[in-house]
Amino acid sequence: RAVALLVDTGPLVAAAVRNDPDHAACADLLRRETGSLVVPSLVLAEAGYLVAKALGPSAEAALLRAAAR
């Protein structure tokens, strides 16, 4: 039976921003997940904005490329 994980903004941003207190846990969770990751479009837009604000536009582009895979 396939399981999907619904991902909210916080874990996406934490996984991208290395100095976030939850970075290691969130990055590990997303990396190890074997089921589908479901990221609503509004969550992706918000995460992209916050990652760009924290790390710049190239980090936002990397997040969007990763989400497209």
3-class secondary structure per residue, 5-64: EECCHHHHHHHHCCCCCCHHHHHHHHHHCCCEEECCHHHHHHHHHHHHHHHCHHHHHHHH
Q: Which residue has the tokens 């980090």?
A: 59
pLDDT of residue 65: 94
- Percentage of the chain beyond pLDDT 90 is 87
User: What is the pTM assigned to this prediction?
Assistant: 0.89
- What's the pLDDT tens digit per position in 45-56? 999 999 999 999
Beta-bridge mates of residue 5: 37
pLDDT of residue 16: 96
- Looking at residues 4-20, what average pLDDT do you find? 96
CA distance 33 to 62: 19
pLDDT of residue 29: 95
